[in-house]
């Protein structure tokens, strides 16, 4: 495909990928399926050959239309006959035992419309390479993974051609698990958060886990390059303090030689074009990176324990009280950062109220209150104390 986006080796896996790829999680935030399908087509037309999705990247239960990322990607690619190179499709599931692994892989394969022909994988007429990840590994899940036999079972399915590359995703706070997973030697790829405000899984960690993965021959998918959905609303303000814009953030990540591709979660083709403009620009020097990181430190301390509205929790959990906690904590997180940096916070009480009463199928029931049952805690990939944070949010903005 013709492309303005440069390619990089996907580890030692024998395929080159767009260094700015398409993160399809945000398809579920678009207002209809036609817009979502148009966005997928537009990004492929840009020459992007790498799409990242997951079995759980769907709209909230009850929303209309109900958008399923994998399904739409499968429909779009199967309808095309003009893609002249293999696409790398990355998807993920929570199958930490052989039985659930097979079930989740089977669901994703069906939803993406993947078929196997003569030892190769296809969606419609387009050859693909499928990278299948164990989603969101952390200590309790890793204990199950290590003892259940799922790693050897997954390698068996990989040898049978059910997928091409085996990997995992993980998050901040799980460095020990990430290191242990890399050192098994069983994975071909990993998806990790990294950005100029929080490079702790990279060069500022006790171990540079991104480099460790690279040195192990793994493809490294960089998620949260812009820190997550909930951070988008404050980055224009932050740029006034740090002088760092989206192009700078992209260049910072692309100048890390151990990253294979930045997983850019966009909602419009203009956002992808803006993000990918950094591709082909001269890499930042080490001095330039250090100077930019020093400016980012002005904001970094305020971005740690806030909800990013990544919505990963809602892939597996619905609050039994009906509290719309990601939306509420997203507003409060922006309030906390804005207050800490001296920005105007006068609108946040209204935003908080609106997050409770949004007129949609997913609106919070009137009078819904967190019961501190704690059922949500296991589902936060960032180990946030959701009940306690909701109490603080209600005190500040309720």
Token digits of residue 370: 């967190």
> What is d(CA 172, CA 192) in angstroms, rounded to the nearest whole number?
8
Residue-level pLDDT at 360 = 47
Model confidence at 228, pLDDT cuts 50, 70, 90, reads low
What is the residue whose two structure tokens read 């509205």?
309
222 and 338 both lie in a single domain: no
- Pick from 268, 302, 336: which residue ends a domain? 302
Domain enclosing residue 372, as ranges: 312-397
State mean pLDDT over 37-58.
96
> What is d(CA 19, CA 36) in angstroms, rounded to the nearest whole number?
22
Domain-embedded: residue 1: no
350 and 296 both lie in a single domain: no
State mean pLDDT over 34-38.
96
Tell me how long the chain is: 398
Domain-embedded: residue 288: yes
State mean pLDDT over 206-231.
87
179 and 238 both lie in a single domain: yes
DSSP letters for 257-309: TT--EEEEE-SSHHHHHHHHTTTTSPPPPHHHHHHHHHHHTTTGGGSTTS---
Residue-level pLDDT at 369 = 87
pLDDT in tens, 231-270: 556 666 677 778 898 889 999 999 999 999 999 889 999 9
318 and 345 both lie in a single domain: yes
Domain-embedded: residue 374: yes
Residue-level pLDDT at 358 = 66
Domain-embedded: residue 360: yes
Residue-level pLDDT at 362 = 52
162 and 64 both lie in a single domain: yes
Residue of 9 and 62 predicted with greater confidence: 9
50 and 143 both lie in a single domain: yes
pLDDT in tens, 181-202: 999 999 999 999 999 999 999 9
Model confidence at 359, pLDDT cuts 50, 70, 90, reads low
Query: pLDDT over 90 for what percent of the chain?
Result: 67
* pLDDT at 108 > cutoff 80: yes
298 and 319 both lie in a single domain: no
pLDDT in tens, 280-305: 899 999 999 999 999 999 888 777 77
Domain-embedded: residue 307: no
> What is d(CA 101, CA 137) in angstroms, rounded to the nearest whole number?
13
pTM for this model (two decimals) = 0.87
326 and 216 both lie in a single domain: no
295 and 341 both lie in a single domain: no
State mean pLDDT over 98-116.
98
Q: Which stretch, 3-7, 35-39, 271-275, 365-369, has highest mean pLDDT?
A: 35-39
Domain-embedded: residue 272: yes
* pLDDT at 137 > cutoff 70: yes
Question: What total of structural domains would you count in the chain?
Answer: 2
Query: pLDDT over 70 for what percent of the chain?
Result: 94
- Rg of the chain's alpha carbons, rounded to an integer? 20
293 and 318 both lie in a single domain: no
The vertex-138 CA angle with 165 and 192, nearest 5°, equals 50
- Pick from 246, 267, 302: which residue ends a domain? 302
254 and 367 both lie in a single domain: no
Q: What is the CATH number of the domain that holds 290?
A: 3.20.20.100
25 and 155 both lie in a single domain: yes
Domain-embedded: residue 229: yes
Token digits of residue 146: 């290590």
Domain-embedded: residue 2: no
Residue-level pLDDT at 361 = 45
Model confidence at 363, pLDDT cuts 50, 70, 90, reads low
Residue of 371 and 316 predicted with greater confidence: 371
Q: Which stretch, 27-31, 231-235, 363-367, has highest mean pLDDT?
A: 27-31
Residue-level pLDDT at 250 = 93
- Pick from 280, 302, 324: which residue ends a domain? 302
* pLDDT at 324 > cutoff 90: no
């Amino acid at each position: 495909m013709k492309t303005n986006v440069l390619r990089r080796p996907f580890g030692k896996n024998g395929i080159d990928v767009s260094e700015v790829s398409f993160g399809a999680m945000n398809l579920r935030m678009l207002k209809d399926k036609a817009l979502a399908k148009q966005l997928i087509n537009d990004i492929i037309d840009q020459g992007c050959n790498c799409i990242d999705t997951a079995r759980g990247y769907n709209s909230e239960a009850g929303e209309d239309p109900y958008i399923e990322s994998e399904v739409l990607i499968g429909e779009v690619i199967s309808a095309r006959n003009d893609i002249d190179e293999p696409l790398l499709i990355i998807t993920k599931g929570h199958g930490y035992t052989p039985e659930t692994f097979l079930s989740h892989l089977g669901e994703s394969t069906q939803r993406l419309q993947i078929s196997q022909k003569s030892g190769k994988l296809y969606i419609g007429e387009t050859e693909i390479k499928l990278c299948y990840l164990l989603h969101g590994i952390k200590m309790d899940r890793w204990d199950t993974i290590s003892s259940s036999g799922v790693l050897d079972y997954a390698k068996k399915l990989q040898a049978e051609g059910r997928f091409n590359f085996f990997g995992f995703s993980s998050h901040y706070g799980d460095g020990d698990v990430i290191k242990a997973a890399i050192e098994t030697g069983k994975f071909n790829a990993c998806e990790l958060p990294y950005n100029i405000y929080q490079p702790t899984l990279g060069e500022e960690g006790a171990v540079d886990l991104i480099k460790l993965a690279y040195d192990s021959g793994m493809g490294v998918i960089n998620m949260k390059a812009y820190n997550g959905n909930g951070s988008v609303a404050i980055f224009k303000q932050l740029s006034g303090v740090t002088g760092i814009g989206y192009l700078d953030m992209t260049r910072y990540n692309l100048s890390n030689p151990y990253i294979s591709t930045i997983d850019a979660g966009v909602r419009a083709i203009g956002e992808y074009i803006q993000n990918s403009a950094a591709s082909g620009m001269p890499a930042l020097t080490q001095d330039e990176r250090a100077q930019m990181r020093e400016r980012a430190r002005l904001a970094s301390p305020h971005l740690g324990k806030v909800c990013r509205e990544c919505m990963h929790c809602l892939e597996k959990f619905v609050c039994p009280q009906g509290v719309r906690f990601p939306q509420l904590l997203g507003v409060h997180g922006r309030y906390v950062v804005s207050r800490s940096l001296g920005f105007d916070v006068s609108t946040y009480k209204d935003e908080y109220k609106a997050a409770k009463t949004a007129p949609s199928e997913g609106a919070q029931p009137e009078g819904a209150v967190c019961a501190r049952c704690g059922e949500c805690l296991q589902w936060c990939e960032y180990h946030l104390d959701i009940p306690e944070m909701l109490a603080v949010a209600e005190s500040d903005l309720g």
